[in-house]
Amino acid sequence: MDIFEKCGQFTEAREVMATGLYPYFIPMSDNEGTEVTYDGRRIIMIGSNNYLGLTTHPKVQAAAIEGIEKYGTSCTGSRFLNGTLRLHEELEERLAAFVGKESALVFSTGMQVNLGAISALVGPKDYVIIDKDNHASIVDGCLLGRGKMRRFRHNDLDHLERILKKLPADAGRMVIVDGVFSMGGDISNLPELVPLCKKYGARIYVDDAHSLGVLGNGRGTAAHFGLTDDVDLIMGTFSKSFASIGGFIAGDAEVMHFVQHRARSFMFSASLPASNSMAAMASLEIMETEPQHVEQLWDNGMKMLNGLNELGFNTGRTQTPIIPVIIGEDEPTFLTWKLLFERGLFTNAVRTPAVPKGESCLRTSYMATHTEEQLDQALAIMGDTGRQLGLIA
């Protein structure tokens, strides 16, 4: 069998393309945060992870430009060899202090954090137990590791305890959860998870990709619940509230030292360019000194949640400015996405495996920089389209 034969047999995406409802890989010619341009049309963006709207903040843009002017466009090497700048170390120190941990380590992408840190820490005699709704990067990090992976039903801590009870007494164990779940918008139940993990001697790793800049005055899920000292590892990305690209892991210094020398995605990838590092640091400074951005994000998110619920949409279990509009099956989800897009509203059509089968949805998310007028227009478009398609009365 030719190894490429499977490529020709993959027809699923082409079949959706043929219907005119394909919702992915949309090439935009301009992106100003709350609005984007496609084919000459201005479209309101309610599908971005730019929660604080900092990608267009003058301080962040100026920092990125300064990074290029001072350091050039690339470090052209891994952190392990020639790619470490004092700037990287300064950013790590600032991030560790921000999330309340002793030390931090900056990777070139958020995906690489989970691939590298998890696979480095979970050895052949260890178990890693994860929430079924965790991000794909966590699953892949577990698969790369040599330990045994177990999955518990979403936010079901009784199920988690049953799994922990069955593990060998001498096995290392680590529980990994998203702080804010990226599709459902709900928050991990850390107040109950922490004592359960302590009871069974399990370390706790929280993926705060969608929590930093959102919860705990921007400091994440553990800070939101007052449990920073009870969580062992905090992971974050720069591609969302930090308005850049990259990621980090924070925890005890000796753990960071180990990951630094064992995480293959860290050791064998080119380091984060200075422009991205400085943009992330500028965003961090804004979060530390300008709390109004987080407050405005929540005002906008709650306005949309209340508005969508009043219209009659099913918004699931969300507790944050990530708001799914659950439709159910793929085809009506894609059709709804298409009509919204044509009417000037950018959402994300999400289907299995990102969400359970039968729970396809439009993932919407909001920014601190959305205006009242934009949000009112978004609700009007959502309402008209939902009524036309019979999704709401």
Which residues have a catalytic role annotated?
182, 210, 240
Say which amino acid occupies 97.
A
Record the tokens describing residue 29, joined without a space: 């010619």
Tracing tokens 């709704």 back to the chain, one arrives at 133
Q: HSE, CB side, 13 Å, CA atoms: give it for residue 2.
A: 6
Beta carbons of 117 and 233 less than 8 angstroms apart: yes
Please choose, from the candidates 182, 236, 173, the residue with its C-alpha nearest in 3D space to the C-alpha of residue 208.
236
CB 270 within 8 A of CB 108: yes
Q: Which of 136, 330, 297, 215 is nearest to 234 (CA)?
A: 215
CB 46 within 8 A of CB 33: no
d(CA 45, CA 49): 10
CA 98 to CA 284: how far, in whole Å? 8
Phi, psi (5° rounding) for residue 140? -65, -35
Cis, peptide link before residue 324, omega less than 30° from 0: no
Task: Provide the 10 A C-beta neighbour count for residue 202.
Answer: 24
> CA–CA separation, 359 vs 19, rounded Å?
21
Phi, psi of 206 (to 5 degrees): -110, 120
**CA 319, CA 214: separation in Å to the nearest integer?**
11
Question: Rounded to a whole number, what is the distance in angstroms from the first to the last CA of the chain?
Answer: 53
